[in-house]
Amino acid sequence: MSKNVALFIPALPFGGAERVVQRLSSILGDTYNLFIIVFDGSIMKYKCACEIIDMNIPSNKSKFKKIIAIFSRTKKFNRIVAENNIDAVISFLDGANMINLLSNTKHKKIISVRNYKASEKNLSMMTKISDFLLSKLYNRTHGVVSVSRIIAQNLENDYGVDSNKIKVIYNPYDINEITNLAMEKLESQHIDFYNNSKVIISVGRKMHQKGFWHLIKSFSLIKQHIKNARLVIIGDGEQDDLIKGLIQELKLEGEVLLTGHQSNPFKFISKSDVYVMTSLFEGFPNSLVEAMACRKPIVSTDCKSGPREILYQESNIDRIAHQIEFADYGVLVPPLTEKENWDSNSIEDCEVVLSQAVVEILENAKAREEYSIRAFERAHEFDYQRCKKAFIEIID
């Protein structure tokens, strides 16, 4: 008889963890009786292949109500688990992880840790409290899924998680689906932007973590060397106005395309010349592997965590790039400074190095072709079957 298994996440807006939950609903759906439990079912940006149970206890900005919500969510979660005879729950993101660990039912508790916590700066007081509480609860779990080796190391060394409970499972990707979507045509106005241009592209939410001020300033330097270079940024977010202001101050209007969120970013990526990631920290960056599946050469910051593990076949996870590194499957540049600097007259050394790496790839057709081939080959190592096998091992 199949086990009853739940995937537990606060909500399903556009995001990396949310996309993984959607994919797991397909990957695990033929092996288990699968459910998805959410705090707030009104935020549903992804269609999932299983029943969704809405706790109907959405987030609240009030600190007092946030604390109350922890108790009400835990109580309701216990009831849902009992009523549906759920054998195992895999939770995603801190809010759901905490409720999973606080619950008093006898189900198998598995939590997924998706960001390199040592790099998460500028945390709110509530987030710091949540992080502290989680650190005290981690060893109540039956298993911890880490999306990278460096996160696993961080959990063991800094949070005292038993190494025997940690399993590294990289995010899954449907390479065939990405390939098919990448072949779709662009709209006419976007074709005009791409024509006769060397196009740099990046995908991500416009937020501090993604470091887009570094990307735009680096692009201004790239333009000095490659006159027909253009930049595409796909994604929405709270820093949209800051990004538009910096573009204006650097007189790059018409040279940067801000598309907003796209249901199919792959058709943009596949027509571009190089994918650039400027994140300050990550867990296991989905967009990076998806760009590789689109056969694009990669230039990425060596942030914690993910890029080094993805771009090297055998990586020394303790190493940090201090200069441009031509890795097995892409190019790494040193980590970027985390302090925001939207001053158009201030160019940092890290932005100069980033621009040099991108120029090197754009001007070297042979390197572009070789990295495109290698990237596509590497992307296949993160397919659905490997992920399915790993999750079955930790659930059973």
CA distance 162 to 159: 9
CA distance 37 to 39: 7
Tell me the fold of 175-381: Rossmann fold (3.40.50)
What is the pLDDT confidence band of residue 67, given thresholds at 50, 70 and 90? confident
The pLDDT score that the predictor gives to residue 115 is 77
The pLDDT score that the predictor gives to residue 135 is 72
What is the pLDDT confidence band of residue 118, given thresholds at 50, 70 and 90? low
DSSP, collapsed to helix, strand or coil, labels residue 73 as helix
Q: What is the pLDDT of residues 25-51, one digit of tens each?
A: 999 999 999 999 999 999 999 999 999
51-54 and 33-38 as β-strands: parallel, antiparallel, unpaired?
parallel
The pLDDT score that the predictor gives to residue 128 is 66
What is the pLDDT confidence band of residue 117, given thresholds at 50, 70 and 90? low
Mean of the per-residue pLDDT values of the chain: 93
The pLDDT score that the predictor gives to residue 62 is 84
Residue 251's region, left for phi above 0, alpha for psi from -120 to 50, else beta, is left
Which of residues 133 and 69 earns the better pLDDT score? 69
CA 223, chain centre distance (Å)? 28
**Percent of the chain at pLDDT above 90?**
84
Q: What is the pLDDT of residues 270-309, one digit of tens each?
A: 999 999 999 999 989 999 999 999 999 999 999 988 999 9
Amino acid at 341: N
The pLDDT score that the predictor gives to residue 123 is 55
The pLDDT score that the predictor gives to residue 61 is 80
Q: Which two tokens stand for residue 294?
A: 């689109």
For residue 126, is pLDDT > 70? no
The pLDDT score that the predictor gives to residue 15 is 87
Q: What is the pLDDT of residues 131-174, one digit of tens each?
A: 777 777 887 899 999 999 999 998 999 888 999 999 999 999 99
> Are the C-beta atoms of residues 101 and 137 closer than 8 Å to each other?
yes
For residue 19, is pLDDT > 60? yes
Q: What is the dihedral of CA 116, 117, 118, 124, to 10 degrees?
A: 140
Task: At 233, give phi and psi (nearest 5°).
Answer: -120, 125
The pLDDT score that the predictor gives to residue 315 is 85
Q: CA–CA distance from 282 to each of 25, 204, 298 (Å)?
A: 23, 11, 16
Residues of the chain with CATH 3.40.50.2000: 4-169, 175-381
What is the pLDDT confidence band of residue 124, given thresholds at 50, 70 and 90? low
Q: What is the dihedral of CA 30, 294, 310, 339, to 10 degrees?
A: -110
Q: 4-169 maps to which CATH number? A: 3.40.50.2000
